[in-house]
Amino acid sequence: MFSALFRNRFSVGVLVGAIAFSLGAFCQSQDKNASPSDDKSATQENQIDPLKRPVPEKQRKANAKALKIELSKTYRKWLDEDVRWIITDEERSAFMQLSNDEERDQFIEAFWQRRDPTPDTEENEFKEEHYRRIAYANEHFASGVPGWKTDRGRIYIVFGPPDDIESHPAGGTYERPMEEGGGETSTFPFEQWRYRYLEGIGQEVIIEFVDTCMCNDYHMTIDRSEKDALKYTPNAGLTMYEQMGMASKASRFTDGGLEQLGLGPMNNDIESKEFGRLEEFAKLQAAPAVKFKDLEEVVEHKISYNLMPFDVRADFVRVTSDTVLVPVTLQIKNRDITFQNKDGIQRGTVNIFGRVTTLTGKIVQTFEDTVQVDVPAELLPKTAENSSVYWKALPLRISQNRYRLDIVVKDVNGDRTGTWSRGIVIPDFSEDKLSSSTLIIADQMEPVATKNVGTGSFVIGSMKVRPRVAPSDGKPISFKRNQKVNFWMQVYNLSVDEKTHKPSATITYNVTDANNKAVIHTVESTDTMGNVGDQVTLEKSLAAANLQPGLYKIEIKVNDNLSKQTLDPTATFAVE
């Protein structure tokens, strides 16, 4: 876009320069034909820079018009093509009020910044994904016009790929579902796109596109009967009630409803649902709101809620000498999520908004996600005490060691909100000091495939480590006796022998009960760990079945034999 802007500005410069040059030439021609009495004034005029001579009003208006036409090509494309489907009416109106290029460029930059999920990085994932969607739409949905202009292209650009597509590219025989009247008919090509959840619109959103001209021109429709190729053929493609003589096909066209489906055993209440369908259709036409703006407002105005309880854990894992990874784990009990039944499946939906700022208020990281929990209806009461876990890894700079983390969680179906705010302090990972990551007690710990190393939820390096989160009431992490208790920790800055190029350290694992009685005591050495350097990862698992119900403490003591430094992080857990 900016290269195009440069070209347009260059062409404007050429245009204005050419006009000025022509005016200068015209004036010089007039000077040659002037009478001797005009020599003095002509001499004075020739001393004036031709580009600074006053331009006649008529010519000035012509120049301004040409300039406006030339500039509008750049910004008009951005407004009418690039962001046509995602810019709000208020933003469009504001953009049209701008008077110069500098203001327009600032507006465009702010437009993308408002939608950037990670404002502290150079990349704008929203912008990159938006243009990827435009490219995909142009490649897959073109039909006499570019793909981005089509209905399918618009929906794809705004809402992304659907969760499921039912495609009938050739039309043909179609068994109507009962909510469409039942019976068999023949259809035009059509597609149904299903989204499990669309923010601000609802759950299980189904969008239907029909190609009535059979020319790949799929348009979005609110009338599900539009795909019926036999709708206007007498005594063909009858619904179940029409076949049984309980309804007339002609009544489809006289009822005056949104859809011309005809009566059926399950669509008698179709009129009562028309307002809901109209509202959904209107929302699908509108530009999407900036994601989770309501939750961002909670953070902006420091409003506190505790109606939606959830627990948070933040860990620290060193990445480089100046970067630390902060995995943030959220845990929500199923009993605190409002579920809605859909075809025998109970679904809960939770929106999460988080922000990391410095002590001066500068935004460092922002994240927002939707988490869905599906439980078979008959199992929901049994899973009430189960927890849903969300994980987000945030890279932060060690040089700025104090941050503030704000998290807002919204139960979509129950319309309840909860907040969590804490200051977080990055540990001292100085290169001359023996140090470690957080000691994580996890309910899952397993290696990941080579292609997934460092990517995906709960993945730290080559391991998937899902932390247990302690409840906010002060109770310890708990495990059932049929579970495994997993310990994960990294040790940094072990001294390395100059001759062997290896560290020399011992690691002692002590598990004690509530009476401080040793239950497990094991020792291992870096000498037996294979090829390790100044950093080592500790991964241990313990069967909870080997422990009696009660409270326990794990202590991992690291003794560096070369530097004579030690560290001994501890954590507590309970066995039920």
Q: How many CA atoms lie within 13 A of 568 on its CB side?
A: 10
Q: Which of 42-51, 171-180, 259-268, 279-288 has the lowest mean pLDDT?
A: 42-51
271 or 560, higher pLDDT: 560
If pLDDT is split at 50, 70 and 90, which confidence band does 571 have? very high
Dihedral over alpha carbons 163, 145, 170, 132 (to 10 degrees): -30
At 560 the pLDDT is 96
**For all residues of the chain together, what is the average pLDDT?**
83
User: CA-to-CA distance for 75 and 88, rounded, in angstroms?
Assistant: 16
User: What integer pLDDT is reported at residue 181 of this predicted model?
Assistant: 87
Digit-coded pLDDT (tens) for 441-489: 999 999 988 777 767 789 988 899 999 999 888 899 999 999 999 999 9
Widest pairwise Cα distance in the chain: 119
β-bridge mates for residue 395, sequence order? 325
Whole-angstrom Cα distance, residue 364 to residue 358?
7
* Burial letters 549-558, b for 16+ CB under 10 A, else e: eeebbbebeb
Instruction: Please tell me the predicted confidence (pLDDT) of residue 61.
Output: 65
Residue 312 has pLDDT above 90, yes or no: yes
Q: List the structure tokens of 107.
A: 């507006």
Q: Is the pLDDT of residue 152 over 80?
A: yes
Nearest Cα neighbor of 354 from 391, 318, 306, 386 is: 391
Would you report the helix, strand and coil content of the chain in percent, each value rounded to 5? 30, 35, 35
pLDDT digits (tens, 9 = 90+) for 193-223: 999 888 778 888 999 999 999 999 999 999 9
The distance of Cα 385 from the centroid of its chain, to the nearest Å, equals 29
Asked whether the predicted pLDDT for residue 124 surpasses 80, the reply is yes
Backbone angles phi, psi at 224, to 5 degrees: -70, -15
pLDDT, tens only, 164-178: 999 999 999 999 888
Q: What is the pTM of this model?
A: 0.55
Provide mean pLDDT across the span 415-427: 90
Closest to 223 in 3D by CA, of 277, 155, 187, 153? 277
- Nearest C-alpha neighbor of 341 from the set 318, 375, 307: 375
Across 83-101, average pLDDT: 84
For the cut 80, the answer to whether the pLDDT of residue 291 exceeds it is: no
Average pLDDT, integer, range 535-554 = 94
Residue ranges of domains in the chain, CATH in brackets:
2-128 (no CATH), 162-285 (no CATH), 292-429 (2.60.40.10), 430-576 (2.60.40.3880)
Band (pLDDT 50/70/90 cuts) for residue 327 is very high
Q: Which of 128-132, 299-303, 364-368 has the lowest mean pLDDT?
A: 299-303
